[in-house]
Chain A
């Protein structure tokens, strides 16, 4: 079944179409989420949220972009919202700890292991993911969609609602900043 047919069936409230949608796109949504939030449980939560939102708002999908592009946009924005919420919670926990009460403080693991990275490269990839957290959001999203989700620059441009030139520029700066962050890290940690 092609994407427009699937969308029509979803808009008609076809339950089997929704099952097909989840079967087909769950790994893409999960991989995008886990690459951004760097936490498997949070990514699982976000994946559920994305499909709930798709179910609730598919009637508003006008077909201006590809359905997959729309899905990516929802996944990215949900993941970023989740991150912001988590940061707010962390700040609130810090303020609470200043006043002596035990605020619920949830910390990311120090080093994230992406499940799709080869075993022998996990350590190096963990260091790269740490550096990824230090670079600006747009550069991080462009890098994640291109390198970890395997989207072309053109597709990244469509998802991020920007131009091809802007994505090329974002990727260039992302690589440069990542190298800077990694150099800083190795300079401090290698004797």
Chain B
């Protein structure tokens, strides 16, 4: 048998090696392991959420957004609205808040 024939024979043997293969069987207690995996996945949801929030990119983006929002609020409050400003005089304040001077005389003489 020459080399080529020998190689062809080996190739055929390899090709036929799985002709009568039987099914590989899963390890025992698969159902128990599946249940354990399901429970693990439930528990790890919050861990995953924490991990996601804790990622530098997410954390810094969140922080930046917070600072930006605060800056926007501060800037919008700082701008004076000239058109709507009103000068409060002592009289308008008195009218608005009904300032009165309470005296002992007033409280004791409730009857007319």
Q: Which residue of B lies closest to A123 (CB)?
A: B17
A138 at the interface (CB under 8 A from B): no
Using Cβ atoms and an 8 Å threshold, which residues of chain A touch B33? 44, 48
Q: Name the distance in Å between A55's Cβ and chain B's nearest Cβ.
A: 7
Choose one: B11, B25, B38; the contact of A183 (CB below 8 Å). Answer: B11
Using Cβ atoms and an 8 Å threshold, which residues of chain A touch B31? 19, 22-23
Q: Are B15 and A30 in contact (CB under 8 A)?
A: no
Q: Are B34 and A147 in contact (CB under 8 A)?
A: no
| Size of interface on B: residues with Cβ below 8 Å to A | 27
Cβ proximity bits A134-170 to B, threshold 8 Å, 1 near / 0 not? 0000000000000111100000000000000000000
Q: Name the distance in Å between A146's Cβ and chain B's nearest Cβ.
A: 10
Q: Are B26 and A182 in contact (CB under 8 A)?
A: no
Cβ proximity bits B20-47 to A, threshold 8 Å, 1 near / 0 not? 1111111100110110011001000000
Using Cβ atoms and an 8 Å threshold, which residues of chain B touch A52? 34, 37-38, 41
Q: Which residue of A lies closest to B8 (CB)?
A: A183
| Docked pose: A148 CA to B20 CA in angstroms | 9
| Docked pose: A121 CA to B17 CA in angstroms | 6
Q: Name the distance in Å between B4's Cβ and chain A's nearest Cβ.
A: 9
| Docked pose: A19 CA to B30 CA in angstroms | 10
Taking A31-B23, A114-B24 as contacts, is the C-beta distance between A182 and B6 under 8 angstroms?
no
A187 at the interface (CB under 8 A from B): yes
B10 at the interface (CB under 8 A from A): yes
Q: Which residue of B lies closest to A131 (CB)?
A: B14
Using Cβ atoms and an 8 Å threshold, which residues of chain B touch A43? 24
Q: Are B17 and A117 in contact (CB under 8 A)?
A: yes
Using Cβ atoms and an 8 Å threshold, which residues of chain B touch A58? none
| Docked pose: A51 CA to B10 CA in angstroms | 39
Q: Are A114 and B7 in contact (CB under 8 A)?
A: no
Using Cβ atoms and an 8 Å threshold, which residues of chain B touch A125? 14, 17-18, 21
Q: Name the distance in Å between A30's Cβ and chain B's nearest Cβ.
A: 4
Taking A48-B30, A183-B7, A190-B6 as contacts, is the C-beta distance between A34 and B14 under 8 angstroms?
no
A99 at the interface (CB under 8 A from B): no
Cβ proximity bits A73-114 to B, threshold 8 Å, 1 near / 0 not? 000000000000000000000000000000000000000001
23 A-B pairs, CB-CB below 8 angstroms?
Answer: A19-B31, A22-B31, A26-B30, A27-B25, A27-B26, A30-B26, A31-B23, A35-B24, A44-B27, A51-B34, A52-B38, A55-B34, A114-B24, A117-B21, A121-B18, A127-B14, A128-B15, A128-B18, A147-B19, A148-B18, A182-B10, A186-B7, A190-B7
Question: Which 3 interchain pairs have the tightest Cβ spacing?
Answer: A30-B26, A124-B17, A125-B17
Q: Name B residues whose Cβ lies closer than 8 Å to a Cβ of A.
A: 3, 6-8, 10-11, 13-15, 17-27, 30-31, 33-34, 37-38, 41
